[in-house]
Amino acid sequence: MAWYVFAIVDRPPAERPGRGLAGALAARQVPGGFAIVERRADVPPVELGALKQHDAVLTRVAEAVPAILPVRFGTLLELEEIEAALDEREEELAEAFDRVRDRVQFTWRRPGSDVRSPASTARPASGKEYLRRVAHAAKPPPAAFRSIRETLRPLVAAERYQRATPSIPDSLYHLVGRDGAARYRLAARKLASADPAVRVTGPFPPFAFAPDLL
Amino acid sequence: MTRPRRSGSPLLPAIAKPSTVTAKTSHTTVPKGALDAIAKPPLPARRPPQPPKPVLPPKRKVARIVGDDESSLLDLIDNLLAKGVMLNADLILALANVDLVYVRLSALLCAADRVLGPGALRGRGPV
């Protein structure tokens, strides 16, 4: 049976990590860290119940370790494959751990933001159109996020902006230290109540700041 | 001598005599103001029907969103599926109950820009 991978962590949890989707979780040592895994024969179905369970496991593990890098949903590998994927990437892993250590993610969204039409995802017809799309995609966060960014800057360790897609609205991700999360939350409440066009959720494990590892 | 035809009752024949009934008058033996003491209080003026009050979001909505243990569906999808989904499958081609070919499929379903990144896409586009 293969291992279903939830995350790579810098240290194994002090206590037993508990249950995963169906069986017990384990922390297996891999190059650069520890993989939080569960024995499974198949990939869980992409349905709401499995997603919620997966999310709950990650949240629980994230609270028990200093740094966590969530892995793509549905990652089912043999231990040798995990080791091969992470081999000689210790530096990359260490940098990623340093970035997210003792930090949590908050997510700002602006529903109703401009979404690229499905037609624009087709292959560009000309170089001009391609460059226009690249420039459009590389735009900085919109003005609606300006006051949020300026007000919360002292509390934010890292920031990432994701333009709206057909499924996800404009999103701004903030990485915030655990010790500053309460202050961030207070400030975020004020900002969100002053501007009904934006919404904030969190804290989450640092999903938006984890590199693609496996 | 002919009487003038009254315009108010065109159906009456012209020869009908005018009514002797006097105009309606009020007549009572109860002294004025005697009923006021036992009279019911006047009903309040009826208000026009008000439209149903809109259901306002709870005041703690923002706080609830921020502090909620259970993330929204959008967050769930964004956090877990934004980087795509790994699909694994085992395929065995058999003939007459004899396994001939074993194929292990491992596929990643994901939007190209989430995997390749803007730099990689930039290098692939037409110039």
**Is pLDDT above 70 for B21?**
no
Where does A103-205 show beta strands of DSSP type E? Answer: 103-110, 156-162, 170-177, 199-204
Contacts of A200 in chain B (CB under 8 A): 62, 65-66
Tell me: pLDDT of B10 over 50.
no
DSSP E strand stretches across chain A = 2-9, 25-30, 33-40, 68-70, 76-77, 103-110, 156-162, 170-177, 199-204
**Higher local confidence (pLDDT), A10 or B127:** A10
Half-sphere exposure of A35 (CA within 13 A, CB side): 26
pLDDT > 50? residue A60: yes
User: Using alpha carbons only, what angle is made at residue A25 by residues A74 and A207, rounded to the nearest 5 degrees?
Assistant: 50
Condensed to tens digits (0 to 9), the pLDDT of residues A106-156 reads: 999 988 766 554 445 567 777 777 777 766 666 677 777 888 999 999 999
Other CB atoms within 10 A of residue A96 CB = 22
Pair A108, A172: CB distance under 8 Å: yes
Nearest to A205 by CA among A65, A39, A30, A44: A65
C-beta separation of B89 from A74 below 8 A:
no
**Could you state, in order of their start, the residue ranges of all structural domains in chain A?**
2-100, 103-209
Q: pLDDT (tens digit, 9 = 90+) per residue, B95-123?
A: 888 888 888 887 777 766 666 655 554 55
Residues of B with Cβ-Cβ distance to A127 under 8 angstroms: 125-127
Helix (H) or strand (E) holding B93: strand B85-95
Write out the H or E segment, with its range, that includes residue B103: strand B98-109
User: By C-alpha distance, which of A157, A159, A206, A202 is closest to A180?
Assistant: A157
Facing residue for A72 by CB, picked from B77, B84, B127:
B84
Per-residue pLDDT reduced to its tens digit, B69-100: 445 788 888 888 887 877 777 788 888 888 88
Instruction: Give pLDDT, residue B62.
Output: 39
Instruction: Choose the closest CB to A204 out of B73, B79, B83.
Output: B79
Instruction: Tell me what ipTM this predicted complex has.
Output: 0.77
Scanning every residue of chain B, which has its alpha carbon at the shortest distance from the alpha carbon of A190? Answer: B62
Give how far A130 is from chain B: nearest CA, Å.
Answer: 7
Whole-prediction pTM value? 0.68
pLDDT level of residue A50 (50, 70, 90 thresholds): very high
CATH code of domain A103-209: 3.30.70
Amino acid letter, residue A1: M
Residue B11: predicted pLDDT: 47
